[in-house]
Copies of this chain bind each other. A is one copy, B any other.
Amino acid sequence: MTGPRDIEDLIELMARLPGLGPRSARRAVLVLLKKRGPLMAPLAQAMAHVALTARDCTICGNIGTGDICPICTDDRRATGEICVVEDVADLWAMERTGAFKGRYHVLGGTLSALDSVGPEELRIPRLVERVRDEGVREVILALNATVDGQTTAHYIADALEGSGVQISSLAQGVPIGGELDYLDDGTIGAAFRARRRV
């Protein structure tokens, strides 16, 4: 026994969060217990509120508090460009750059024969529908540079063939601040093949 049953239950649930193990979950709960008023109560309330209101956007799969997410309802964002991402985390990462002003499409994963994830599980048919119905000019595939990510990108490119839409993907090369000595051979090779005139 370490604490009362209720507190043990809370620690167990907290330990399921990524980045927290049983020990750090216990430490987090102790801090919460010490700051019951200023931190624990507001956190519980914020979490309950989001758990209740958050839902997947029926158009793009982003998470918002209504049936349609803030990005899909934002008139100022171009409708002719769709950036396809694997996950909401990737959408947030793209948004932080501020580089893209169009709409998104969140797949919710990558194709994976091992985990038997097919196109239907990934909102790919919905993407094909959107490209057809929304007058999309360009689909940008912002998928992870992993085997599964690239397989999915190829599949989507194939699925959109004949729709007349332009398909592009993120450039591959040396990351900003990257040192060649620490980069893998694949990245250096890709950067060399995609070299640009200065």
**A: which residues have CB within 8 A of B?**
1-4, 6-7, 9-10, 13-14, 16-20, 24, 26-28, 30-33, 36, 39-54, 63-65, 69-70, 87-89, 92, 95-96
Contact = CB atoms under 8 A, between A and B. Distances in A.
A13 B43 contact: yes
22 contacts: A2-B92, A3-B63, A3-B88, A6-B49, A6-B53, A6-B54, A10-B43, A10-B47, A13-B39, A13-B46, A17-B31, A18-B24, A18-B27, A19-B28, A20-B20, A30-B89, A32-B50, A32-B51, A33-B50, A44-B47, A44-B48, A48-B48
Given A20-B28, A32-B50, A36-B51, 11 more contacts: A4-B63, A6-B46, A6-B49, A6-B53, A10-B43, A13-B46, A30-B89, A33-B50, A33-B54, A40-B51, A45-B48
Nearest to A66: B4
A45 B30 CA distance: 17
Nearest to A25: B19
A33 B95 contact: no
B24 A43 contact: no
